[in-house]
Every structure is written in C-alpha cells, then in structure tokens.
Structure 1
Amino acid sequence: MTTLDLILASSSRYRQAQLQSLGLAFRTAVPNIDEVALSHETPLSISRRLALSKALAVAKQCPASVVIGADQVLDLDGLPLGKPGSHDAATRQLRLLSGRVAYFHSAVSVISPRTQQVTVSTTRAVFRQLSVTQIESYLLFDRPYDTAGSAKAESLGIALLEELSSDDPSAIIGLPLIALTRLLNNIGIDPISLSKQG
C-alpha cells in the first residue's frame, strides 16, 4: 500500500479531533447502520459489534481502504447507557449514575483489505453523589446529549467523578488511541512514521 487511504467511519467531532492528534491524513464517512442493541446483548458486546459494523459498512463501499470504526457504551450493572439525545434523558442517566460505579466500554475496529480487527478498552468510573441542582447546572453547561452516559470527561464532566481508571486514558473520549495504534501497527501502519510533518 503505497498511499494510505485511511477512513474514519464516524461523524463524531470528538473522534475526528482524537484521530487528528495522531497527525494522520484521513477522511470521514458516515456508516449507515442500525445501532439498536440486540436482545440479551451485554454493553461490552454491543460496543464491539457496533464498532465492527460501522467499519464494515464503510469498507464495503471502499474495499481498498483502511477503515476505523468505533463505539462506546456505558455499562451500569449490565444496563447499557448510550447517547441520551435530550436534556430529560441525560437527567435520568445522571440520576442513575449518581454515587455509582460504571464502566465505559470503548471499542475500536480496523478493517483493511486483508484483515478485520476489533478490541475494547474499558474505563472504570466512580461517580460522585450528585444533587438535582448539580445535574441541572452541569447539563446546561456541557450539553452532553451526544455523549454516552451524559458525562464529557474532557470537559466539566470530569467534576462529576470521584475516580477514573483505564489502561488507555484516551478511551473515555470515545476513540482509544493506544488500542488503535496497536491495531494499525499490526497491519504495518506506524502513525509516528506516517504523521504529517509541520
């Protein structure tokens, strides 16, 4: 592969910014897939399946490209929490999460003409006891309606937490870059060598 055609199968501005931080040239494509959870699916398996499905959907249209897919699902005692989509739904999510331990499963998939890879990085999050006023104030500030679990850890959402632990600190934002770099290296793509200079 002399010229790398790298595609991020996502419309997420957060994941685009994360991938840009690696200095790689890439383009984006929106995967048109059904993201509804299947019956008896765990939060972890949902994240894996959707990350792979997003990458496969775009790879089908661009078979010579390297395609990255990603998905994140919050796991609260086995209950999957995705993007709330509205203020009311976000309020309900944060009330559920108040004072609880939850897990953010951040899956990433890399599809190339010869291989399919998918892995998950999990972040353990301990939420503070949150008052109704704190939840409302936070939501009005961050408006995290497009974020799994209604908490933007890269912004004021970090103040909702007592503790955050992961083997990949970038995973909480939605694209686990350590895991992604490993998958890219597996197919002979070294982001350090390919990063744009200047």
Structure 2
Amino acid sequence: MRLILASSSKTRKTLLHRICGNSFEILPPEVDETPLSLEDPKNLSERLSLEKALKISELNRDAVVIGSDQVAFCDGKILKKSNNLNDAFEQISYQVGKQTTFFTGLALARHGGKEVQSSTVTSQVFYRDSHFISEKLVRNYLNKEKPLNCAGSTKFESLGICFLKRVETEDPSALMGLPLIKLCSFLKKWNIQPFA
C-alpha cells in the first residue's frame, strides 16, 4: 500500500520520516485555506486536513493519503499564516504574555476518499511575557527562522520554542504540525504498520 503525505511542509516530512522512514511519497495539494463564514478554528483545521487528503486520494486511489493543517487561535482571533516578516512580527508580538490554542487537524483517506478518518489535536501554548520576549529577540528570531506560512508564526521545532513558558498537549508532535500519536492510531485501524 502506497503512503502519501499531502503537504509541502518540510517539518511534516521530517516528522513522518520518524515513523515511516522513506516509505512514503509527497504530493502537495492545491487547497484554498480561506475560512468559511463563521467557521471556528477547530473545524477549519479539520476541514482543511480532510480537503488535502481527499484531493490527493481522488487521483491516487491505491494509496493511503495523509493530510494535516494547523490553525492558531488567540484572544478570539484566528492568526492567519504570515506572508511577510512584518506580519510575523505582529503575530509574535500579539501573543506575548498570552495563551494561544493550536488546532492541528489530521485526516487519512483511501480508495479515492471512500474511507476516511479525521480528528483534531488541541494544544494550549503559553507565551512568555514582555520581560523575556523583547523586540530584539523577536527580530533575531525572524531573521534566523523566516517563519512564513506557519501557524502563529512560531516554529516550535526550532527557535520558536524559546518564546514559550509552557505547553499543554496530548501529542507534542501535533504542535510541530503532524500529530504522530493520532496518526499511528489511524494507521493501526487500517492494519498499516508505520515502521514495517
């Protein structure tokens, strides 16, 4: 059975490699990530994950397709993925001293989308306050990481971790963009061994 990651994310590729080695393909889907009217962030992350998996599954009926998407939500506001470093600076600054919820959707599809599994892992992230996170620290981070197209402009897999006071999550890998604990459960349901 072919395994396909429906993503262009290098971090998701690295995470999937942990449990599947090189036994998967990568096919990035073209999906409009605009939220629907009044759509909540949890539903948005799960819907986009499912759309990504289904889009690739329709063209690869013999494969199991993995789709994932992450949405950051802080103070009643969805933090869209930054298009430039100024937007990223504003997003990081907005989260200083606050709690941000990250919703990481996961969807698996096979047989052209006739069979699917989907879920969302919720992570609570508590950012340090302004005594720790200075403008200089944020600018240094932005210059080194260039965190564009990443939820909340925070790369948890690298230097973004320095902004955090603490994290509450059932799956640490979800915070980096692909919930491996949930993924292993989904694969097992379909009798697929991740590291076989």
TM range (shorter): over 0.9
Partner in structure 1 of residue 35 of structure 2: 37
SS across alignment from 1:22? helix
Q: Where do 1:67-82 residues align within 5 Å?
A: 67-82=65-80
Query: Out of 173, 182, 187, which is 1:184 matched to?
Result: 187
Q: Provide structure 2 residue ranges, at least 5 long, that are not aligned to the other structure.
A: none
TM-score normalised per structure 2: 0.93
Report Cα offsets for 1:36-72 as digits up to 9, x if no partner. 1111011111100000000000011112211000000
Q: Where do 1:145-184 residues align within 5 Å?
A: 145-184=148-187
SS across alignment from 1:102? strand
1:135 and 2:135 correspond: no
Partner in structure 1 of residue 15 of structure 2: 18
Once the two structures are aligned, what percentage of the paired residues are identical?
36
1:16 & 1:154 partners in 2: Cα distance?
A: 13
Q: Provide structure 1 residue ranges, at least 5 long, that are not aligned to the other structure.
A: none
1:50 and 2:48 correspond: yes
2:35 & 2:187 partners in 1: Cα distance?
A: 28
Match of 1:164, as an amino acid? V
Match of 2:141, as an amino acid? Y
Partner in structure 2 of residue 85 of structure 1: 83
Partner in structure 2 of residue 125 of structure 1: 125
1:89 & 1:17 partners in 2: Cα distance?
A: 26
SS across alignment from 1:109? strand
Verify the 8 A CA contact 1:47 1:71 in the aligned structure 2: yes
1:156, distance to aligned residue in structure 2 (A): 1.2
1:62 & 1:111 partners in 2: Cα distance?
A: 10
1:138 & 1:62 partners in 2: Cα distance?
A: 39
2:76 & 2:48 partners in 1: Cα distance?
A: 17
The count of aligned residue pairs is: 190
Partner in structure 2 of residue 27 of structure 1: 25
SS across alignment from 1:21? helix
1:78, distance to aligned residue in structure 2 (A): 3.0
SS across alignment from 2:120? strand
2:31 & 2:138 partners in 1: Cα distance?
A: 32
Partner in structure 2 of residue 7 of structure 1: 4
Report Cα offsets for 1:108-133 as digits up to 9, x if no partner. 10012252111111111001123222
2:122 & 2:147 partners in 1: Cα distance?
A: 20
- Stretch moving more, 108-117 or 37-46: 108-117
1:182 & 1:69 partners in 2: Cα distance?
A: 15
1:17 & 1:154 partners in 2: Cα distance?
A: 10
Verify the 8 A CA contact 1:42 1:78 in the aligned structure 2: no
The root-mean-square deviation of aligned C-alpha atoms, in Å, is: 1.2
2:40 & 2:78 partners in 1: Cα distance?
A: 7
2:11 & 2:161 partners in 1: Cα distance?
A: 16
TM-score normalised per structure 1: 0.92
Match of 1:19, as an amino acid? L
